[in-house]
Copies of this chain bind each other. A is one copy, B any other.
Amino acid sequence: MIRAHVNVFLKPDVMDPQGKALGEALLSLGHKTVKRVRVGRYFDIALEGDDPEQARVELTRMCEELLANTVIENYEIRIDPAQKA
């Protein structure tokens, strides 16, 4: 079993009003060190198999097909290192 963590987030030049509002909320709560917040989605995915390279290929296809809107979003795939052994 492979465990993967996928983060999908807006490209740097895409406006993120939700992140902006959240940053302002954190500042108003006293978190004065906050400079910028960007909001995205997180997917925790378990896959059959034990080949991390094959899993990465499959996860990339999932991101391109469904998980991310690649016009405005990028994605990052992490395979749980405990499953590489």
Query: A interface vs B, CB < 8 Å?
Result: 1, 5, 7-9, 19, 22, 25-26, 29, 31-49, 55, 58, 61-62, 65-67
Contact = CB atoms under 8 A, between A and B. Distances in A.
B48 A22 contact: no
Contact of A43 (B5, B37, B48): B37
Given A7-B7, A65-B29, A42 B45 contact: no
A31 B58 contact: yes
A61 B55 CA distance: 35
A38 B31 CA distance: 29
A66 B25 contact: yes
Contacts of A44: 9, 19, 36-40
A45 B37 contact: yes
24 contacts: A9-B44, A19-B43, A22-B67, A25-B66, A26-B62, A29-B66, A31-B58, A31-B62, A32-B48, A33-B55, A35-B47, A36-B44, A36-B45, A36-B46, A37-B45, A37-B46, A38-B43, A38-B45, A39-B41, A39-B44, A40-B41, A40-B43, A40-B44, A41-B41
